[in-house]
Amino acid sequence: MEQERRKYKRVPTISIVKEALIESPALKLKREIPAILSNLSAGGMALITFLSLPLDAIISLSFNIDGLKLKDAEGRVVRVEGKKNTYLIVIAFTKIRAEVKNRINMMADAFDLCETRILMGEKDVCSMRCAYYELCSKPVKMVVDTDKN
């Protein structure tokens, strides 16, 4: 079994961020851009955008998605992959509020618990009280949502 090298658990998500504010005084940049949050951890995130950023750029981020408000976080661009005019930007947080970091860790723990319950064959694994519920797109969530309507 391979040793996990990450300090924080990562959660996959496909969440549309309508307006991500990205600022960098060094790059003379301050723009609101649409993005897709691809994955998230208390240590960083991956965004799919139409804006390329240089490696090692220090940026400030602010956005709001279901269940999580990221405000005035700072990060360093650690990876950029581009295809045509679309870019995967991987950012390592250098500054993030403790309550946001804790919320992300709770979401990661909830995601792992859900995965374990699904693998064990449990029924009714999804709950609206789950810390990951708002970002979840698993089929078990869809069943719960349609059952309640």
Say if CB 141 and CB 126 are below 8 A apart: yes
- CA 18, 92, 12, 136 dihedral sign is negative
User: In angstroms, how far is the first alpha carbon of the chain from the final one?
Assistant: 43
Band the pLDDT of 146: cuts 50, 70, 90: very low
- DSSP structural state of residue 28: T
pLDDT tens column, 41-55: 999 999 999 999 999
Task: In whole angstroms, give the CA distance from residue 19 to residue 33.
Answer: 5
Say if residues 63 and 20 touch (Cβ distance below 8 Å). Answer: yes
Q: Is there a contact between 90 and 52 (Cβ–Cβ < 8 Å)?
A: no
Provide the CA 26 distance to its chain's centre, in angstroms: 25
Q: What is the mean pLDDT of the chain?
A: 84
Residue 14's nearest CA partner among 33, 34, 40 is 40
Give the pLDDT confidence of 64-119 residue by residue, as tens digits.
Answer: 877 678 888 999 999 999 998 999 999 999 999 999 899 889 888 888 888 888 88
What structural domains does the chain harbor? 11-96 (2.40.10.220), 100-144 (no CATH)
Q: Flag the least confident range among 2-11, 14-23, 129-138.
A: 2-11
Residues in the chain: 149
Is the pTM higher than 0.85? The answer reads: no
HEC string for 67-124: CEEEEEEEEEEEEEEEECCEEEEEEEEEECCHHHHHHHHHHHHHHHHHHHHHHCCCCC
The amino acid occupying position 127 is S
Tokens at residue 85, please?
Answer: 């005019």
